[in-house]
């Protein structure tokens, strides 16, 4: 029988920092997974792709399509960060469905790194910094003119938007993943056999949707920040 | 009822109330998307994309409610 706890982590102090070790380990596992997949797939590329290579090519085309849909051709230089965000979040979310519960920790337990608000807030702040930076690179200080854009008194609302965007990005990812894991945990506590399986399958779908949403919203923010003015 | 029971009940009712509005909104949005695709099947991909975006902004309202509950739990040690 598992006890239901929310937001418990295996905390270690490394120097002056308090580190959530379970999140750290699973985040590194996700990164290792991405790097290994990329390494294996690019060893022997062929003109006529076999199954796995064509799957990866399909994924790349999907990501390019996502970026082009939000920003058009000019957005392709932003494709790497969008794709990295997508792949990391996808791997991180899918990782939560591995049978981590078989391994017991004293504090907390292994799960998706995205069920920790620190991970998702970090990702959202990366997006935030990136779109402001991209806007300044594109337009120089003219970027700040959009804060006063329709009329000057809209300034507080436009400024507020810069704070609500990372907030909603991080909370959406965190909330969806955490809620999914909680529901599975509750179902396991009630009836441990067979009943949680449909919910787990649904979580695989949610993992993909959330990664897509996060990267599509990031792309649309970057697209809005770098849009040509008329 | 003691305080803990009242706090737990308040949280459950709060999340349930927060789920009502977005639920209605998602229903309306989905119905509109189905209507659009039924009238004009070639617009399906675009409609799905817009539907996902719209639903995401409604969904985040419920997630704010869940987050507020956990925040309240840690700030006030409710249960």
Angle CA A173–B62–A116, to nearest 5: 30
More confident residue, A29 or B77: A29
* DSSP annotation string for A71-137: H-GGGGGGHHHHHHHHHHHHHHHHHTTS-GGGS--SSS----GGGSHHHHHHHHHHHHHHHHHHHHH
C-alpha dihedral (A39, A43, A47, A52), degrees to nearest 10: -50
Q: Which helix (H) or strand (E) holds A19?
A: strand A17-20
Closest-CA distance of chain B to residue A17, Å: 21
Residue whose entry in the numeric block shows the structure tokens 């994924």: A59
> Residue B27's closest CA among B19, B37, B16?
B19
Per-residue pLDDT of B2-42, as tens digits, reads: 777 887 788 888 888 989 999 999 999 999 999 999 999 99
Interface test with A, best of B8, B46, B60 (most A CBs within 10 A): B60
- pTM value? 0.86
**Interface A:B, Cβ pairs < 8 A:** 33
Other beta carbons within 10 Å of A134: 20
What pLDDT score was predicted for residue A1?
44
The two tokens of residue B42 are 């070639």
- Do the Cβ atoms of A179 and B66 come within 8 Å? yes
For residue B43, what are the domain limits?
A: 3-76
Tell whether B66 lies on the interface with A, counting CB pairs under 8 A: yes
Phi and psi at residue A46, to the nearest 5°: -125, 160
pLDDT of residue B24: 94
Q: How many domains does chain B have?
A: 1
Instruction: Please answer yes or no on whether B56 and A69 come within 8 Å at the CB atom.
Output: no
| Inter-chain touch A217–B52, beta carbons under 8 Å | no
Answer whether B44 touches A (CB < 8 Å). Answer: no
pLDDT at residue number A49: 76
Using CA atoms, how far apart are residues A156 and A153, in angstroms rounded to an integer? 7
pLDDT tens sequence for chain A (230 residues): 455 666 677 888 888 888 888 888 889 999 999 999 889 888 877 777 788 888 888 988 999 988 888 888 888 888 999 999 999 999 999 988 888 777 777 777 788 888 888 899 999 999 999 999 998 988 888 888 888 877 888 888 888 988 989 998 998 998 888 888 888 888 888 888 888 889 889 999 989 989 999 999 999 899 888 887 65
- CA dist B11 and B18 (Å) reads 10
State whether B60 and A168 contact (CB < 8 Å). Answer: yes
CATH of the domain at B61: 1.20.20.10
**From residue A132, how far is each of A136, A159, B27, B77 by CA, in Å?**
6, 12, 35, 38
Work out the minimum CA distance from B23 to partner chain A, whole angstroms: 16
Q: Report yes or no: A212 and A66 within 8 Å, Cβ to Cβ.
A: yes
Position B79 scores a pLDDT of 54
Long-range own/partner contacts, residues A148-154 (CB < 8 A, 24 or more apart): none
């Amino acid at each position: 029988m598992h006890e239901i706890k929310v937001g418990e982590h295996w905390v270690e102090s490394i120097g002056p920092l308090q580190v959530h070790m379970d999140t750290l380990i699973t985040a590194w596992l996700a990164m290792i997974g991405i790097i290994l997949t990329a390494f294996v797939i690019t060893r022997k590329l062929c003109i006529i792709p076999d199954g796995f290579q064509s799957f990866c090519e399909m994924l790349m085309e999907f990501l390019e399509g996502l970026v082009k849909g939000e920003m058009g051709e000019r957005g392709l230089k932003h494709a790497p960060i969008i794709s990295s965000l997508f792949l990391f979040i996808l791997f991180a979310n899918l990782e939560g469905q591995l049978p981590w519960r078989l391994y017991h920790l004293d504090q907390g337990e292994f799960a998706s790194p995205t069920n920790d608000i620190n991970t998702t807030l970090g990702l959202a702040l990366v997006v935030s910094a990136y779109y402001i930076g991209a806007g300044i690179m594109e337009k120089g200080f003219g970027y700040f003119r959009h804060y006063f854009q329709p009329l000057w008194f809209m300034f507080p609302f436009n400024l507020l938007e810069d704070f609500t965007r990372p907030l909603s990005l991080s909370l959406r990812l965190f909330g969806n993943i955490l809620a999914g894991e909680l529901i599975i945990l509750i179902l396991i506590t009630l009836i441990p056999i067979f009943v949680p399986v449909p919910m787990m399958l649904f979580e695989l779908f949610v993992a993909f949707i959330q990664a897509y949403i996060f990267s599509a919203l990031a792309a649309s923010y970057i697209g809005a920040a770098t849009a040509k003015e008329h | 009822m003691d305080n803990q029971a009242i706090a737990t009940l308040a949280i459950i009712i709060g999340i349930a109330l927060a789920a009502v509005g977005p639920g209605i909104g998602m229903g309306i949005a989905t119905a509109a998307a189905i209507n659009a695709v039924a009238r004009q099947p070639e617009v399906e991909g675009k409609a799905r994309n817009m539907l996902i975006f719209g639903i995401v902004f409604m969904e985040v309202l419920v997630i704010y409610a869940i987050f507020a509950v956990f925040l309240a739990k840690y700030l006030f040690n409710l249960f």
